[in-house]
Structure 1
Amino acid sequence: MSAVDEQLDEEETSEKKSFWDHLRDLRTALVRSAIAIGIALVVCLLIADKLVLLLEYPLQRMNVFEKAKPTVTFKIGGTQLGPYEVKPDEFPGLPGSDNPNVTYHVGSAKIGEHQVATLVPEPTPPESLGALRVRLHNLSPADAFFIAFHVAIYGAIIVSAPFWIYFMGQFFLPALSVREKSVLYQWLGWGVLLFFSGVAATYFVLLPLALRASIEYSHLLGLEAYDWRADGYIGFVMKFIVGMGIGFQFPIVVLILVKLGLVTHQQLAHYRRHVIVLTLIVGALLTTPEVITQVAMAVPLYLLYEISILIARYWDWKKRRAEATAGAG
């Protein structure tokens, strides 16, 4: 065998070793990420009740965008009936408009030879204005376990995100140059900021709006809307929140296409009408299929698109200015 053949064999062996080394490093990163998610999953299962309460919070804000209506709730032992919307003149004992929600404990009192039903009011505390009106129910023995696991999965992925992103970064970053790493960190930082902005906007504004719209639409159809399946509600809330967080990555995708030279700011401006339709479709897919929440989700997505056009236009102006300066020099 010639010296050239031996050198080729050595290079081929080196490449094979390099490939297997990379494969081992990838396996290590995946195993560490899985362990981090697994530990976070156990922790989230232990606090599943707290996570469920966190997801129920938007229910308490359903009435935040409107004036609260007078309601009464009746409690007989451990059973609760209501709340029912009433007129103030039907229950003169209702408090003022600042807090028109009252719970009555139904009991009895003996007057002479007769037992008379009694209503003992229990005024709703001021901090629970617009309080939970919808009651969530488990309709099968296994529902509670599935809900806890479902919630814990989402929570574990979010809680362990810094760890599995770090482990996967240890695998991918060595292959990047210093400039590529700098660009990646910038895009990743903006992506994380936009994701949590979408989550916050959904949690505090869009979700209460969507839930209230769902109830009003049920009433319009002549249906009761205050008893929901817990698994249906939890699934809807988590998909809505995660979907909106992902939707807020829209400008990142658009600007990456601009950076790659696949689109220009003129083309982005030309397709405004198409994007309006697209955002409305996304709003219908990720929220309840009615106009209020559809528009509520489409508006921030379209505003982000307009901001992307402005950034792309600035980049183009900056590039032309640099070229003009270089040509003049």
Structure 2
Amino acid sequence: MTHKEESILEHLTELRKRLIIVLLTFVGFFILSLYWSPELYRFITSPLKQKLLVLGPNDILWIYVRLASLMSFSLILPFITYQIWAYVRPALKPSEARGVLTYIPAVFACFITGLAFGFYLVTPSLFRVLLSLGDDLFITQITAQNYLSFVWHTTLPLAILFEFPVIIAFLTRLGLVNARFLRSYRRQAYFAMICLAVMLTPADVISDLIMSLPLLLIYEIGIIVSRSVEKKRG
């Protein structure tokens, strides 16, 4: 076996070890989260002021599994980020490694902020708009499964998109992007984000604005973050 093959094998072994560690940690937190799933369900459905329908016992189990999965992933996100940092650390300079390590709290904070923004602002706004489309036309019976899927789709994408400034800061520190590059592609980025907002929301101008403005703001924050990182790099 050549030295290059040995090096690739070592990297794959290291990657497998860290993936196993993350998976075992997720399973442990998932089991603990199952215990708190009923409380999380009460919290998520509290704005409705009513109990929701389930179509069978399997729905109850599936609801708890989804809630426990989201809770456990959110809780171990800093640990996942640390494992990614530990894996790529040998390829980074000491100063780069220390700088990237400081992003771990930011990753967690941005993810939780995205979830909160989606849950407290986007979800109720879109929910009201969609229900208003069926006024005097339908008898609306909301199941727990339907409602949680709706909440999932209006919060999780935003939580991921809120990581954009952190990703930009990381790429800027590595010298792969800069503020000038982001400004030069601002028009294309705006168009892409507005299209994304339209796809994630119903055909309603107010809903589109509710989703579009935060996405555009996130991009501008990414430019500011990139410029700040550039100044620190000198």
In the superposition, the TM-score normalised over structure 2's length comes to 0.79
Contact 1:210/1:292 (CA < 8 Å) preserved in 2?
no
Structure with the higher helix share, 1 or 2: 2
Percentage of identical aligned residues: 23
Contact 2:110/2:162 (CA < 8 Å) preserved in 1?
yes
Q: Which amino acid aligns with 2:214?
A: P
Structure with the higher strand share, 1 or 2: 1
Root-mean-square deviation (CA, aligned residues, Å) is: 3.2
Alignment of 1:1-329 (within 5 A): 12=2, 17-57=6-46, 59-60=47-48, 132-133=49-50, 135-219=51-135, 222-225=137-140, 227-253=141-167, 260=175, 265=180, 268-269=182-183, 272-310=186-224
Structure 1 residues 310 and 40, CA, compared in 2 at 3 Å: closer, same or farther?
Answer: closer
Give me the whole-angstrom Cα distance separating, in 1, the residues matched to 2:177 and 2:81: 29
Query: Could you tell me how far 1:237 is from its partner in structure 2?
Result: 0.8
Structure 1 residues 28 and 217, CA, compared in 2 at 3 Å: closer, same or farther?
Answer: same
Contact 1:279/1:298 (CA < 8 Å) preserved in 2?
yes
Structure 1 residues 139 and 32, CA, compared in 2 at 3 Å: closer, same or farther?
Answer: same
In the superposition, the TM-score normalised over structure 1's length comes to 0.59
Q: Highest CA radius of gyration, 1 or 2?
A: 1
Query: Could you tell me how far 1:299 is from its partner in structure 2?
Result: 0.6
Unaligned runs of 5+ in 1: 1-8, 61-131, 323-329
- Post-superposition CA distance 1:171-230 (Å, at most 9, x none): 3323322122133234444443333222222222222212222222221x62233x2121
Contact 2:165/2:219 (CA < 8 Å) preserved in 1?
yes
Q: Secondary structure at the match of 1:146?
A: helix
Contact 1:30/1:168 (CA < 8 Å) preserved in 2?
no
Give me the whole-angstrom Cα distance separating, in 2, the residues matched to 1:256 and 1:288: 34
Q: Secondary structure at the match of 2:134?
A: helix
Aligned to 1:109: none
Give me the whole-angstrom Cα distance separating, in 1, the residues matched to 2:83 and 2:20: 9
Give me the whole-angstrom Cα distance separating, in 1, the residues matched to 2:97 and 2:64: 38
Query: Could you tell me how far 1:309 is from its partner in structure 2?
Result: 4.1
Query: Could you tell me how far 1:137 is from its partner in structure 2?
Result: 1.1
Q: Secondary structure at the match of 1:158?
A: helix
Query: Could you tell me how far 1:249 is from its partner in structure 2?
Result: 2.7
Contact 2:193/2:215 (CA < 8 Å) preserved in 1?
yes
Give me the whole-angstrom Cα distance separating, in 2, the residues matched to 1:244 and 1:313: 24
Unaligned runs of 5+ in 2: none
Q: Secondary structure at the match of 2:142?
A: strand
